[in-house]
Amino acid sequence: MKKTIHDIPVEGKRVLVRVDYNVPIDESGHITDDARIRETIPTLQTLLNAGAALILMAHFGRPKGKVDDSMRLAPVSQKLQELLGRDIQTARDTVGLEATALSKAIGAGQVLLLENTRFEAGEETNDPILAEKLASFGDVYVNDAFGAAHRAHASTEGVARAMRAQGKPAVAGLLMARELEFLGQLLQDPPRPFVAILGGVKVSDKIGVIRNLEEVADEILIGGAMSYAFEKAQNREVGTSYFKSEDAPIAAELLQLFKNNEAVLPAQDACRLHLPKDFLVADKDAEDAHIEYVEAGAIPADKMGMDIGPKTIADYVAVIESAKTILWNGPMGRFEVAPFSKGTLEIARAVGRATQKGALTIIGGGDSAAAVKQMGLSEQMSHVSTGGGASLEFLEGQELPGVAVLDDKGS
């Protein structure tokens, strides 16, 4: 267990807080979803109420180590000001003269936001000099950026290490602690049955997760474009469906793993893998597509699979409704286009119903979180994770470098 902001004194301290404000924006630079900013408010408010001065660090976009005016944090600062209800000072540089002067001058109850950490070439290379410079700004380090914790960057890992070397505390923020608690429960002692639902398109990213979940989950339901890798692995036609040839051998390996386990483990201990029985196929990826339902193995060569079919939905809903723990990562189909959204919608509703009956339900993955939000079902879930890549690496069983470096409880 990692120490949190509740475990250390912060009154009168300069607290350096890493947040994840890498929010989506539209063409005109407006923030389209402020969830990541909103979710840090409890941490910031708690620290301010306790009499701390806050210096915030965040990255935005991929400026590749150079100043890029289109990726300045000004819009983020504006939104934070609104949500926090206080003035936010914004430095025009990350560790330059202005940042250094402002960080020295702020007092209790004040908030300073440093400019985009990725404007510094040393951020992504985890340069110790940059880390030292950042560390010199604060007396305490707090990491509340779960979504960036799988990267060992100067503002996530290096700075924490530098501060600890100086005898300064490095602890988790409240959002970070909540993410670790919910996701940790999945791998430790999940209420059973534990059902994992995996879909989306990032097949190679999710294979490692399936391998690790195979050891803790009871049922794994496959949907989305991931299905076609498993179809191909069984030498079935996938037509023009989304499919990358490098994914088929990995899917074949997984099929073998589940088969082997079934042969050696008692039925109640073996994790079962469910593949779609049927698909919705279309002639094109568009609102006015011609659609039909086909059995698995019968996708016409000139059609693309866009969603799971009604038999699969019925099957999966039954499994979900008896679950006590549910992890969902990856939409069941191309839900952004209306005719292909039914599978994702029905699964989301079933997960919502299971939560109401007392199941622990966790949504991981940016697009899955967006799907659940679009369907107005976010509030029904136990936890919607703010970190896509970070949650996947965590569920693969890897230790996140931005977390590993923080102080342990009892130390």
Site for ligand ADP, rule CB under 6 A: 199-202, 224-225, 242, 305-306, 329-331, 333-336, 365-368, 388
Contacts 24+ apart (CB under 8 A), 35-41: 35/373, 35/386, 36/147, 36/386, 37/76, 37/79, 37/80, 37/83, 38/83, 39/175, 39/386, 40/144, 40/173, 40/175, 41/83, 41/84
Nearest to 402 by CA among 31, 220, 153: 153
Helix (H, G, I), strand (E, B) or coil at 33: coil
Helix (H, G, I), strand (E, B) or coil at 295: strand
Six-digit token string for 156: 């996530």
User: Which residues lie closer than 8 Å to 167 by C-beta, 6 or more apart?
Assistant: none
Six-digit token string for 403: 């977390």
Distance of CA 344 to the CA centre of its chain: 18
Task: Please report how close the Cβ of residue 362 comes to Mg ion at its closest, in angstroms.
Answer: 16
Q: One-letter amino acid identity for 372? A: V
Select the residue interacting with Mg ion from 115, 367, 396, 407 (CB under 5 A): 367
Q: Which is nearer to ligand ADP, 355 or 385 (CB)?
A: 385
Q: One-letter amino acid identity for 403? A: V
Interacting partner of 389 out of Mg ion, ligand ADP, none (Cβ under 5 to 8 A depending on kind):
none
Q: Which is nearer to ligand ADP, 117 or 329 (CB)?
A: 329
Binding span for Mg ion by CB under 5 A among 33-41, 136-144, 154-162, 360-368: 360-368
Q: Which is nearer to ligand ADP, 158 or 330 (CB)?
A: 330
Tell me how far apart the alpha carbons of residues 63 and 245 are, in angstroms, rounded to a whole number.
Answer: 32
Q: Does 144 bind Mg ion (CB under 5 A)?
A: no
Q: One-letter amino acid identity for 224? A: G
Active site residue: 65, 96, 208, 366, which one? 366
Please tell me the count of residues contacting Mg ion according to CB under 5 A: 2
Interacting partner of 303 out of ligand ADP, Mg ion, none (Cβ under 5 to 8 A depending on kind):
none
- Strand blocks (E) in 117-228: 140-143, 170-172, 194-198, 219-222
Instruction: Mark whether 64 is an active-site residue.
Output: no
Helix (H, G, I), strand (E, B) or coil at 280: strand
Active site residue: 79, 202, 232, 342, which one? 202
Instruction: Mark whether 376 is an active-site residue.
Output: no
Q: Which is nearer to Mg ion, 365 or 401 (CB)?
A: 365
Q: One-letter amino acid identity for 300? A: P
Q: Which is nearer to ligand ADP, 190 or 333 (CB)?
A: 333
Active site residue: 138, 199, 224, 389, which one? 389
Task: Please report how close the Cβ of residue 151 comes to Mg ion at its closest, in angstroms.
Answer: 17
Task: Please report how close the Cβ of residue 136 comes to ligand ADP at its closest, in angstroms.
Answer: 37
Six-digit token string for 379: 């509030």
DSSP 157: I
Active site residue: 13, 14, 18, 36, which one? 36
Task: Please report how close the Cβ of residue 331 comes to ligand ADP at its closest, in angstroms.
Answer: 5
Parallel, antiparallel, or unpaired for β 278-282 and 304-308? antiparallel
Tell me how far apart the alpha carbons of residues 65 and 73 are, in angstroms, rounded to a whole number.
Answer: 15
Task: Please report how close the Cβ of residue 223 comes to ligand ADP at its closest, in angstroms.
Answer: 7
Q: How far is CA 182 from CA 266, 327, 366, in A?
A: 29, 10, 17
Instruction: Mark whether 12 is an active-site residue.
Output: no
Q: Which is nearer to ligand ADP, 173 or 333 (CB)?
A: 333
Instruction: Mark whether 366 is an active-site residue.
Output: yes
Count CA atoms closer than 13 A to 312's CA, side-chain side: 26
291-295: strand order across its sheet: 291-295, 278-282, 304-308
Interacting partner of 334 out of ligand ADP, Mg ion, none (Cβ under 5 to 8 A depending on kind):
ligand ADP
Task: Please report how close the Cβ of residue 213 comes to ligand ADP at its closest, in angstroms.
Answer: 14
Task: Please report how close the Cβ of residue 26 comes to Mg ion at its closest, in angstroms.
Answer: 18
**Start-to-end Cα distance in the chain:** 10
Q: Which is nearer to ligand ADP, 158 or 223 (CB)?
A: 223
Q: Does 366 bind Mg ion (CB under 5 A)?
A: yes
Six-digit token string for 196: 């994992």
Distance of CA 269 to the CA centre of its chain: 29
Q: Which residues are catalytic?
A: 36, 202, 366, 389
Q: Which residues are near Mg ion by CB under 5 A?
A: 366-367
